[in-house]
Amino acid sequence: MEKIILIKYGELTTKKDNRKFFIETLEKNIRNLLKDFKLKISKDRVRMFIETDEIENAALKLTKIFGIHGIAICHKANSNNEDILNKVLEIIPQDKKTFKIETKRADKNFPIKSMDFNNLVGGHVLRNTEYKVDVHNPEVLVNIEIRKDFTYIYTNILSGSGGYPVGVQGKGLLMLSGGIDSPVAGYLALKRGVDIDCVYFDSPPHTSLEAKNKVIELAKSLNEYSGNIRLFVIPFTELQQAIYKNCPNDYMITIMRRMMYRICEKMAKKHKCKILINGESIGQVASQTLSSMVCINEVTNMPVVRPVACLDKLEIIEIAKKIGTYETSILPFEDCCTIFVPKHPVINPNISKAKIYEESFEFESLIEKCVQNAEIITNFEKEKFTDLL
């Protein structure tokens, strides 16, 4: 194989004790997300190397995998002077004017020190091309990594997504609505190494099949960063109608969200998720004031992580566009939060009042039904859902 992909690990190189586990998780994720590719992977403590037939395609896919700092498509040479010098001349672009050589000697037995090797290769380029050296701002940086068996040479590096490999932190349960915020929250959690399952509260016939398919589409987008996502669709209609019937208008949303949290806690325990994650952002709507959060959060002891809590809507939108969820999120299908919205939802809800209203109907059995009857979707293959939107 003439070319090979070199991967520079992300932040994980600083985590000494966990390094082996991090690197193994990264390899597992790469194999999973690139399962359609024929791969040969080798790795050590600082680098991973991937050989495959479809090298450009694979490199592009790798830019979505967390735990990677940079991806370089390298040319392979044998680790001897002649081969390396020839290869550098062969790959240095024709249309640029200035260069710099940067050698790394992973094999300390290689007889020439890195600085001396820079000079040797630099001299060879100067003699054989029109190039000039510029050590401060070169148009072409030629990286040479000398290893025992082979030397890898590259002039370009693609930025990786950073973060930790998905899964190194265990799993969280993302409350995924069809909006802009929750997919971004999921993405940010994945980036910190948290694997996710998603939960969506579905209220047919008040919410449409399109709304559900939109959430499936969003889960599919997030799955490109994970590969393991499951979506639990909760049949929420009966419980929502009971709230509608039994609770005062201004507390409907507060109580609905308390019910959602209760269901999520049960689902999380059932599916081994350690935390809940959602797209709440401080002050965005009545149910996201600090007082509302206190009242809603009261029903669970599980940590609730809100990755976008302190971002402005515009900042959230920017991320949504970057990760490719924005266009789906703005499709105009209503979710269960928007259909029963009261005119004046309470902004400073009171926990005791919420409890009193909840006592007016038998909600435990309805919650249990939601958990028992959740539909589990795991197959996010492309052909299946796009036609439905």
The amino acid occupying position 73 is I
Judged by beta carbon, residue 140 or residue 337, the one nearer ligand ATP is: 337
- Based on the shown chain and the rule CB under 6 A, indicate whether residue 177 belongs to the binding site for ligand ATP: yes
Nearer to Mg ion, 87 or 258 (CB): 258
Site for ligand ATP in 287-306 (CB under 6 A): 287-288
For position 179 contacting ligand ATP by CB under 6 A, the verdict is yes
The Cα 219–Cα 384 span in angstroms is: 13
What is the Cα–Cα distance from 112 to 126, expressed in whole angstroms? 19
Selected range binding ligand ATP among 21-29, 38-46, 109-117, 180-188, rule: CB under 6 A:
180-188
Site string for ligand ATP, 337-376 (x = CB under 6 A): x---------------------------------------
225 binds, among ligand ATP, Mg ion, none (CB under 5 to 8 A by kind): none
Helices (H), the chain: 19-33, 55-62, 81-91, 114-128, 181-191, 209-226, 237-246, 252-270, 290-297, 313-323, 326-329, 336-339, 351-359, 363-372, 382-386
Choosing from 10, 70, 122, 179, the residue that interacts with Mg ion (CB under 5 A) is 179
Q: Rounded distance, CA 73 to CA 249, Å? A: 60
CA separation for the pair 191, 195 (Å, rounded): 9
In the complex, residue closest to Mg ion by CB: 179
| Spatial CB neighbours of 56, under 8 Å, sequence gap ≥ 6 | 73
Asked if residue 175 binds ligand ATP (CB under 6 A), the reply is yes
Give the nearer residue to ligand ATP in terms of CB position, either 144 or 337.
337
End-to-end CA distance of the chain: 42
Residue 63 DSSP code:
T
CB of 177 to Mg ion, least distance (A): 4
Greatest alpha-carbon pair distance for the chain in Å reads 88
Query: What would you report as the CA-atom Rg of the chain, rounded to the nearest whole angstrom?
Result: 26
Interface with ligand ATP, residue 197, by CB under 6 A: no
Report the DSSP pairing between strands 195-202 and 231-235. Answer: parallel
Per-residue burial over 253-285, b = 16 or more CB atoms within 10 Å of its CB, e = otherwise:
bbbbbbbbbbbbbbbbeeeebebbbbbbbeebe
Q: Single out the residue of 27, 181, 217, 265 in contact with ligand ATP (rule: CB under 6 A).
A: 181
d(CA 139, CA 386): 43
Residues 12 and 29: their CA atoms lie apart, in Å, by: 15
Nearer to Mg ion, 179 or 307 (CB): 179
Nearer to Mg ion, 177 or 203 (CB): 177
Q: Closest approach of Cβ 328 to ligand ATP, in Å?
A: 12
Stretch that binds ligand ATP, among 1-9, 54-62, 277-285, 376-384 (CB under 6 A): 277-285
Q: Which residue is nearest to ligand ATP (CB)?
A: 179
Candidate ranges 169-177, 185-193, 229-237, 326-334; the one touching Mg ion (CB under 5 A): 169-177
Query: By CB under 6 A, how many residues form the interface with ligand ATP?
Result: 20
Give the residues lining the site for Mg ion (CB under 5 A).
Answer: 177, 179
Residues forming contacts to ligand ATP in the complex (CB under 6 A) are 175-177, 179-182, 199-201, 278-280, 284-285, 287-288, 335-337
